[in-house]
Amino acid sequence: MGFDQYHEPPGELPPPTRTFARLCASLTEEAEAIGWYEQRIALETDPEALAVMRDAQGEEFKHFSMDLEFLLRRMPAWREIAQGILFQTGDIVEHGEEAEAETFEGAGAGAEGAFEAGSLGIGSLRGASR
Amino acid sequence: MNHLLRSHAPISDAGWTLLDEEARERLTPPLAARKLVDFSGPHGWDYSATNLGRTSALASAPSAGVSGLKRQVLPLVELRADFELSRAELRDADRGAEDVDLEALDNAAHQIALAENVAVFHGWQDAITGMSEASPHDVLELGEDTDSYPARVAGAVERLQCDGITGPYGVALGREQYRRVVETAEHGGYLLFDHLRKIVEGPLVWAPGARGAVVVSLRGGDFLFESGQDLSIGYDSYDADVIRLYLQESFSFRVVTPEAAVALTA
pLDDT, tens only, B85-132:
999 999 999 999 999 999 999 999 999 999 999 999 999 999 999 999
Give the angle subtended at the CA of B197 by the CAs of B194 and B198, to the nearest 5°. Answer: 90
| Predicted local confidence at residue A10, as pLDDT | 78
Search chain A and give the residue with CA nearest B173: A130
Binning pLDDT at 50, 70 and 90, where does residue A116 land? low
Instruction: Return the exposure string of B215-235: e unless at least 16 CB atoms fall within 10 Å of the residue's CB, then b.
Output: bbbbeeebbbbbbbbbbbbbb
Nearest chain A residue to B3 by CA distance is A106
pTM: 0.72
Q: Do A116 and B205 touch (CB under 8 A)?
A: no
The answer for residues whose C-beta is within 8 angstroms of residue B260's C-beta and 6 or more apart is B160, B165, B216, B217, B219, B222, B223
B206 inside 8 A of chain A by CB: yes
- pLDDT for residue A113 is more than 50: no
Indicate if the pLDDT at residue A15 is higher than 70: yes
Is any Cβ of chain A less than 8 angstroms from the Cβ of B230? yes
Q: Is-contact B84 B104, C-beta < 8 A?
A: yes
Test the A interface: residue of B2, B11, B19, B222 with most A CBs within 10 Å? B2
Between B208 and A103, name the one with better pLDDT.
B208
Task: Report the alpha-carbon angle B49-B51-B57, nearest 5.
Answer: 105
Q: Please compute the mean of the pLDDT values over residues B223-233 and round it to a whole number.
A: 95
Q: Does A10 touch chain B (CB under 8 A)?
A: no
The minimum CA-CA distance between A10 and chain B, rounded to whole Å, is 19
Mean pLDDT (chain A) is 84
Of B6, B23, B44, Cβ closest to residue A108: B6
Cα dihedral value B208, B211, B215, B218, nearest 10: -40
Answer yes or no: are the C-beta atoms of B42 and A79 closer than 8 Å: no
Helix (H) or strand (E) holding B101: none
Tell me whether A68 touches chain B (CB under 8 Å).
no
The separation between CA B144 and the C-alpha centre of its own chain, rounded to angstroms, equals: 25
**Which of these ranges, B62-66, B165-169, B186-190, has the smallest mean pLDDT?**
B186-190
Q: How far apart are CA B61 and CA B32, in angstroms?
A: 46
Q: Is B229 on the interface with A (CB under 8 A)?
A: yes
Q: Given an 8 Å threshold on Cβ–Cβ distance, is B39 in contact with A123?
A: yes
Q: Do B39 and A124 touch (CB under 8 A)?
A: yes
Whether B20 sits inside 8 A of A115 (CB atoms) is no
The string of pLDDT tens digits covering residues B183-212 is 988 777 789 999 999 999 999 999 999 999
Is residue B134's pLDDT more than 90? yes
Please say whether the beta carbons of A70 and A23 come within 8 A. Answer: yes
At residue A79 the predicted structure's pLDDT band, cuts being 50, 70 and 90, is confident
Contacts of B4 in chain A (CB under 8 A): 106, 117-118
Compare CB distances from A122 to B2, B27, B203 and report the shortest one's residue: B27
> What does chain A come to in residues?
130
Nearest chain B alpha carbon to A70: B41
Distance from CA of A127 to the nearest CA of B (A): 7
State the pairing for strand pair B242-255/B223-227: antiparallel
Q: What integer is the mean pLDDT of B149-164?
A: 94
Helices (H), ranges, chain A: 15-43, 47-74, 76-85, 92-105
Beta-sheet strand order (sheet of B169-173) = B140-141, B261-265, B213-217, B169-173, B204-206
